[in-house]
Structure 1
């Protein structure tokens, strides 16, 4: 479908939606998803502080396709806190730090982390609805880390190289030079822009579209990461519309880099 493909990678998006939808139809997937995230949490405990994230106890022996039984967690969701104006921006950055570790350092992460799926309980975060666990390969996760590290420093030349490094087949020569020029044009107003001025979600979709139009192809897991960033972007917009999110995310670059 060459005309449809001009919009990006429609089949990749459709496959992502299909996997996400199927994950919602069997609660055993939610149990498995929590076990996966909990296992990574335990492995990371010796070298990366994830103590602000906790998981409710699940009674595996009582769970089946249509029923999941877990410990009751007391506390409001991020969505409720945002609606009441009670969620601090620092708490959102803490959430990004945790999700960023799973995404960039491990390549396995909660694939549907919208504000209704995070509970704040006694100052700690609880991830719920863990049925959709997204995965990306090392090439994609490291490339995306380098991309966002470049964005946090306003180094758009480095960003262009990082995006190209994520492509299944990298573009070269004049093709890459044209892409870099178009990329810099796309980001000419991005430096210093707040989340209310330029949507990170829209900017990323335009970026992927530009890459595909320039001859790049990407692992389909990239859409799960974009969705995660979309949720974070939306939460920041509700919490602190004057935030320059990429600058603030830059504080975690050094910490993530140690664990790539």
Structure 2
């Protein structure tokens, strides 16, 4: 804390020497571990490990370049201008450098002291509601949000919520923000296909699950577990954990930028659970999304969606016509071949195969019994136990095969009952 010659009360943040060098060594080790893990166990990745390490390094570089933090403060000041209840310290850009940042000193009560806030006359529920609604605006409307909203970085001063320490911020492009909105609505409306679409859009163009039906089935489980509960009981950390584990099972690699969003949401939720438990974060974010879409905006979005879908449908029809022309060309020349697979037909075909095998074996057994009986009455020599040797062997083989058919039918029937 210091005072400028002109009289302003300020805070001076100074970087410790040698921090960047130490962190550079740590990140170099983590790069090696991530590279090795990617080669050894490529299928065990829920996110892009190399991308996460690089994002960590980029975040650290941003945090240790105090000029960037000063610019973040200036940008967030502009964002807060329309909100009477939100604020952040104003930086003094001419006094800032890469290792020193100078900003207004804020005298306030941290959210980690709810008792002091209540004694000062503040409504904790109102603070939490406004904070989450503004965070939704940062993340989904502006695409520029405080990425470390823990209680020590949130103060209440003179009726305003003040966010400090903007060294760690997150940025989301328009596409990512749109996908986040769609996924939140998909969970609320229990729409598994929409949730799958959002997940695959997050993962990028390389996302191509081998079994889309199984992906939808797994998402059905997640939607039933999290989409049917009261929003007050929804645990965002558990939801994100279930979603990432499901992505791992289907070899869907999520981009590293998602970790910043997830970390910020979980941090904010944990802070609310501990200090302002009456505030429902997911409900407020959902309400913000719904209220931010006016009738005209909804109409424009719907027209845009219909236009895109019509464009895709038209190209699909034209493509199908082109493919049918090629197919007819090959058909007239006897070059067309059809490779067809009946989904779910394996078990009926297996049963049919067993029936044919048993029928064949039964015919062989009958043939052996009949043939052996003919040999017996013909009295062919040599004879053993009064039965011709050839007939005796036929009876033995027929008996063994008959026993095998009976046991095969019995044991396979028991296995099906256990299923």
- Contact 1:101–1:256 (Cα < 8 Å) also in 2: no
Alpha-carbon deviation of 1:63?
Answer: 1.7
User: Hey, what's the Cα distance between the residues in 1 that align with 2:77 and 2:170?
Assistant: 15
What TM-score, normalized to structure 2? 0.53
Tell me which residue corresponds to 2:46. 8
User: Hey, what's the Cα distance between the residues in 1 that align with 2:209 and 2:238?
Assistant: 28
Alpha-carbon deviation of 1:248?
Answer: 4.1
Alpha-carbon deviation of 1:128?
Answer: 0.9
Q: Is residue 290 of structure 2 the alignment partner of residue 251 of structure 1? A: no
Tell me which residue corresponds to 2:60. 21
Tell me which residue corresponds to 2:317. none
Alpha-carbon deviation of 1:85?
Answer: 8.1
What TM-score, normalized to structure 1? 0.82
User: Hey, what's the Cα distance between the residues in 2 that align with 1:173 and 1:218?
Assistant: 13
- Contact 1:194–1:241 (Cα < 8 Å) also in 2: no
Tell me which residue corresponds to 2:342. none
One of 182, 203, 213 as aligned partner of 1:177: 213
Tell me which residue corresponds to 1:30. 69
Alpha-carbon deviation of 1:84?
Answer: 6.1
- Contact 2:65–2:98 (Cα < 8 Å) also in 1: yes
User: Hey, what's the Cα distance between the residues in 2 that align with 1:20 and 1:93?
Assistant: 28
Q: Is residue 103 of structure 2 the alignment partner of residue 65 of structure 1? A: no
User: Hey, what's the Cα distance between the residues in 1 that align with 2:202 and 2:136?
Assistant: 18
Alignment of 1:79-98 (within 5 A): 79-81=112-114, 86=118, 88-98=124-134
Coordinate RMSD, CA, aligned: 2.9
Tell me which residue corresponds to 2:270. 234
| Higher RCO (Cα < 8 Å, 6 or more apart) | 1
- Kindly provide the CA deviation profile for residues 206-245 of structure 1, in whole angstroms up to 9, marking residues without a partner as x: 3134224424343322111111101121022213557654
One of 102, 115, 120 as aligned partner of 2:138: 102
Tell me which residue corresponds to 2:311. none
Alpha-carbon deviation of 1:79?
Answer: 2.3
One of 121, 124, 127 as aligned partner of 2:160: 124
Q: Is residue 242 of structure 2 the alignment partner of residue 203 of structure 1? A: no
Structure 1: any 5+ residue segments left out of the alignment? none
- Kindly provide the CA deviation profile for residues 9-49 of structure 1, in whole angstroms up to 9, marking residues without a partner as x: 1223322322222223232221011122233445xx4xxxx
User: Hey, what's the Cα distance between the residues in 2 that align with 1:173 and 1:24?
Assistant: 37
